[in-house]
Amino acid sequence: MNIWLGALEQGFLFGAMVLGIYLTFRVLNYPDLTIDGSFTLGAAVAAKAILMGYDPWWGLAMAFICGAMAGLVTGLLHTQLKVTPLLSGILTMIGLYSVNLRIMGQANVSLLRRETIFTGIKGFIPDPWGTLLLAVLLFAAVFLAVYLFLCTELGMALRATGDNEQMIRSLGVNTDYTKLVGLALGNGLIAFSGSLVGQYQGFADIGMGIGMIVAGLASIIIGETLVGTQTLIRAMASAIIGSLIYRSIISLVLQLGLSPTDLKLFTSLMVVAALALPLVRNRLGFSPLRGAGDVKVTPRNQNF
Amino acid sequence: MLKLHRVTKIFNPGGPDERVALRQVSLEVPQGQVVTIIGSNGAGKSTLLNVIAGVYSIEEGAIFLKGQDISSWPEYRRAAFIGRVFQDPTRGTAASMTVEENLALAMRRGKRRALRWGITPEERRYFKEQLAQLGLGLEDRIRDKVGLLSGGQRQALAVLMATLTKPKLLLLDEHTAALDPRTAKVVMELTQRVISQHQLTALMVTHNMDQALRYGHRTLMMHEGRIILDISDPLRSQLKVSHLLEMFEQASRNSLEDRILLTSPG
Ligand SMILES: Nc1ncnc2c1ncn2[C@@H]1O[C@H](COP(=O)(O)OP(=O)(O)OP(=O)(O)O)[C@@H](O)[C@H]1O
Ligand SMILES: [Mg+2]
């Protein structure tokens, strides 16, 4: 019971991160690797804010803003200095490592006996349900906000930028601008998620963002396989469904005795398997696509 | 309306694969004129349109739209006044977005995109009306993703999107060349209809000489980055495709001789 509850809580807390990756990788079609840095940045900023005596809710807001700024840096490297998308993200991510250490002052900051948003809610609704409820509500708010944004003029221009940059520019949109907005929003969400996870586990750690990209992609791929991407709402729902299932799988394999240090390898292999599955199916001749020319791994040309 | 003054476009200037795509091209197109452009492969037709649209910056010369020098404007800014349809139907539409979303994107050409709702109910009605005029049944598929449409349907949609806000200038680059003959005819008729309906100024590149002479008011022939023939109605209406072919061969031969003269020692 307990491990499933934990998986559920984490699935929602990491949900904002998966939505952020969905925004950059899928909507904007930008293989942004800032994630590992911006996730930790969020946790670091929130932890620091709490230690300095700010309200933990402020920590969430500050984390979002700092994450958005990190995304802006990546975007500016790409749009202004013409650095390739992959490298622009890597440069920011590596730079953030030092920034995060500066913010925290050390590699690990404990929030033990500090007021967090979770200690707050437990005052009203004791666990097991308080934490979960808060996680669900926060995620629902983020989900709704992102959905509504993607239905606005600006949000639609952003989606078009990821789909067909040439076309949307020929309709008068400055795609440099939409990319900056998308990267800022995506990394803002990722840092927001990092600040939630930091408060949830009671510490911020310099290494907590390592492998977030792969975990996020694993969630997205799982979700898309199960839920599909036919409509915007479905594509977004697959992010959270994927996140929940991914966290459940992780809980399960840990329960079954997988060493926590092997988790990252396990996650990588999971993504490899998911990406390879359609290819293998093709080779073996199960797919209707067989003989139809080139092999398509995922619905749209993806960058990973 | 549109004016090009000695425009030169050089790809990879100074490099080993330097390529002069436009050589001091000058051109003036009055309001409401429809110009067809023909020429061999690599003549610079697409480059001419791209340079006007601002996809490429130019090395020399200037481009004016309604008297305003737009040479240094970025592509997205010029797009407020210039509608485009590309040869490849997939380039002019967003496949993962619905028909109505594509039209809504086009409806906001040149406007600031804010946090307002992306499609309004009145717009939806207007789109249905416009789509019904195409006669392709698209008005019943406004919630379908564009990727599900056929090439011809996508191209018809692209023409509609390019002209939805009545741009000052319409640029068509062999926009029916990738379609089967029947669909090409449908899209061509649609193009003609919207052009005359809104009295648009347009440049249309085509590989079909018969088409070039039949449509519009004026025909340009390009060769190796130059406009080598510029003929308008009423003179143009007497021209036959065979004449055009003759001139074309003449021009090619001339430039070949030029090259031989230039490279032969002494
Ligand atoms: N992006 C580019 N980079 C380098 N060279 C280019 C580029 N685009 C065009 N060129 C060159 O410029 C010349 C003119 O090309 P352009 O595409 O304008 O020809 P075109 O008249 O449209 O030909 P086609 O009938 O084949 O479409 C060609 O020699 C081409 O190789
Ligand atoms: Mg061309």
Q: Which residues sit opposite B9 in a β-bridge? A: B22
Minimal Cβ distance to B114: which of A154, A160, A171: A154
**CA atoms of A115 and A52, how far apart (whole Å):** 11
**CA atoms of B82 and B67, how far apart (whole Å):** 15
CATH code, A290: 1.10.3470
In one-letter notation, the amino acid at residue A189 is L
pLDDT score at B243: 83
pTM of the model: 0.91
What residue's CA is closest to ligand 1, atom 28? B42
Q: Where are the domains of chain B?
A: 2-263
CA of B42 to the centre of ligand 1 (A): 5
CA distance B93 to chain A (A): 6
Chain A interface disruption, residue of B85, B91, B105, B169, most A CBs within 10 A: B105
Among the listed residues B32, B55, B25, the one whose alpha carbon sits nearest the alpha carbon of residue B173: B55
Count, in order, helices (H) and strands (E) of chain B. 8, 10
In one-letter notation, the amino acid at residue B231 is I
Instruction: Give the number of domains in chain A.
Output: 1
| B101 chain-A contacts, CB cut-off 8 A | 156, 159
Asked if residues B22 and B8 have their Cβ atoms less than 8 Å apart, the reply is: yes
CA of B227 to the centre of ligand 2 (A): 15
Residue of A nearest to B81 (CA): A172
Kindly report the CATH number that applies to the domain delimited by B2-263: 3.40.50.300
Pocket residues for ligand 1 (CB within 6 Å)? B 11, 19, 21, 39, 41-47
Residue entry with tokens 């998966």: A18
Report ipTM (2 d.p.).
0.90
Asked if residues B244 and B209 have their Cβ atoms less than 8 Å apart, the reply is: yes
Relative to beta strand B169-173, strand B201-205 is parallel
pLDDT score at B140: 95
| A181 chain-B contacts, CB cut-off 8 A | none
| B161 chain-A contacts, CB cut-off 8 A | 171
Residue of B nearest to A158 (CA): B113
The residue count for chain A: 304
Residue B178 token pair? 């990738």
Q: Which domain holds residue A162?
A: 2-301
A300·B96 Cβ contact <8 A: yes
**CA atoms of B262 and B266, how far apart (whole Å):** 9
**CA atoms of A228 and A238, how far apart (whole Å):** 7
Nearest atom (ligand 1) to Cα of B39: 21
Residue entry with tokens 């919630």: B143
**CA atoms of B205 and A154, how far apart (whole Å):** 33
Asked if residues B145 and B98 have their Cβ atoms less than 8 Å apart, the reply is: yes
Residue A204 dihedral angles phi and psi, to the nearest 5°: -115, 135
B108·A163 Cβ contact <8 A: no
How many beta-carbon contacts under 8 Å exist across A and B?
86
Q: Judging by beta carbons within 10 Å of its beta carbon (0-12, 13-18, 19+), is residue A146 exposed, middle or buried?
A: buried
**CA atoms of A130 and A125, how far apart (whole Å):** 5
Residue B20 token pair? 């002069």
Nearest atom (ligand 1) to Cα of B9: 12
Query: pLDDT by residue for chain B (266 residues), tens digit each?
Result: 999 999 999 999 998 999 999 999 999 999 999 999 999 899 999 999 999 999 999 999 999 999 999 999 999 999 999 999 999 999 999 999 999 999 999 999 999 999 999 999 999 999 999 999 888 999 999 999 999 999 999 999 999 999 999 999 999 999 999 999 988 999 999 999 999 999 999 999 998 888 899 999 999 999 999 999 999 988 888 888 888 888 778 877 776 666 666 555 54
Query: pLDDT by residue for chain A (304 residues), tens digit each?
Result: 588 899 999 999 999 999 999 999 999 999 999 999 999 999 999 999 999 999 999 999 999 999 999 999 999 999 999 999 999 999 999 999 999 999 999 999 999 989 999 988 888 888 788 999 999 999 999 999 999 999 999 999 999 999 999 999 999 999 999 999 999 999 999 999 999 999 999 999 999 999 999 999 999 999 998 999 999 999 999 999 999 999 999 999 999 999 999 999 999 998 898 888 878 877 776 544 433 333 333 444 343 4
| B108 chain-A contacts, CB cut-off 8 A | 153, 157, 171-172
CA angle B107, B139, B134 (to 5 degrees): 80
Minimal Cβ distance to A169: which of B79, B111, B117: B79
